[in-house]
Amino acid sequence: MKKIALGIIGLATVATLAACGNANASSSSQLDKVKKAGVLKVALSPDYPPFEFQMIKNGKNAIVGSDVDLANAIGKKLGVKVQIESMDFNNVLASLTTGKADIAISGISKTPSREKSVNFSNVYYSSDNYLVVKKSDLNKYTSLSDFKGKKIAAQKGSIQEGIVTSQLKGAAEIALPQIGDEINEIKGGQVQGAVIEELIAKSYVAANPDLAISKVTLKMPKDSYGSAVALPKGSSELTKVVNSVIKEQLKNGQIDKDIQKNYALSEANK
Ligand code: ARG
Ligand 1 center to residue 137 CA distance, Å? 26
Residue 266 beta carbon below 6 angstroms from any ligand 1 atom: no
Ligand 1 center to residue 47 CA distance, Å? 9
What pLDDT, on a 0 to 100 scale, did the predictor assign at position 222?
85
Look up the CATH architecture of domain 129-213.
3-Layer(aba) Sandwich (3.40)
Ligand 1 center to residue 45 CA distance, Å? 8
The beta strand positions in 31-150, using DSSP E, are 39-44, 53-57, 60-64, 81-86, 103-104, 118-125, 129-134
Alpha carbon distance, N-terminus to C-terminus of the chain = 68
Residue 107 beta carbon below 6 angstroms from any ligand 1 atom: yes
Mind listing the pLDDT tens digit for each residue in 66-101? 999 999 999 999 999 999 999 999 999 999 999 999
Residue 91 beta carbon below 6 angstroms from any ligand 1 atom: no
Q: Count CA within 13 A, CB hemisphere, residue 91.
A: 16
Each domain of the chain, given as residue ranges in start order, spans 7-126+225-268, 129-213
What pLDDT, on a 0 to 100 scale, did the predictor assign at position 12?
46
Ligand 1 center to residue 79 CA distance, Å? 28
As a whole number, mean pLDDT of residues 49-75 equals: 96
Mind listing the pLDDT tens digit for each residue in 108-135? 999 999 999 999 999 999 999 999 999 9
Residue 173 beta carbon below 6 angstroms from any ligand 1 atom: no
For residue 31, how far is the Cα from the chain centroid? 22
Mean pLDDT score of the chain, rounded to an integer?
91
As a whole number, mean pLDDT of residues 197-210 equals: 97
As a whole number, mean pLDDT of residues 35-58 equals: 96
- Report DSSP letters for 138-202, one per residue: GGG-SSGGGGTT-EEEEETTSHHHHHHHHHSTTPEEEEESSHHHHHHHHHHTSSSEEEEEHHHHH
Closest C-alpha to ligand 1, atom 12 = 158
What pLDDT, on a 0 to 100 scale, did the predictor assign at position 39?
98
Residue 203 beta carbon below 6 angstroms from any ligand 1 atom: no
SS3 234: coil
What pLDDT, on a 0 to 100 scale, did the predictor assign at position 270?
66
Look up the CATH architecture of domain 7-126+225-268.
3-Layer(aba) Sandwich (3.40)
> Given pLDDT bands bounded at 50, 70 and 90, which one contains residue 268?
confident
Fold agreement between 7-126+225-268 and 129-213: yes
The pLDDT of residue 52 is above 90: yes
The best mutation among 44, 87, 106, 181 to test binding of ligand 1, ranked by most ligand atoms within 8 Å of the C-beta, falls on 106
> Given pLDDT bands bounded at 50, 70 and 90, which one contains residue 10?
very low
What pLDDT, on a 0 to 100 scale, did the predictor assign at position 28?
52
As a whole number, mean pLDDT of residues 158-183 equals: 97
What pLDDT, on a 0 to 100 scale, did the predictor assign at position 25?
45
As a whole number, mean pLDDT of residues 251-262 equals: 98
Ligand 1 center to residue 84 CA distance, Å? 16
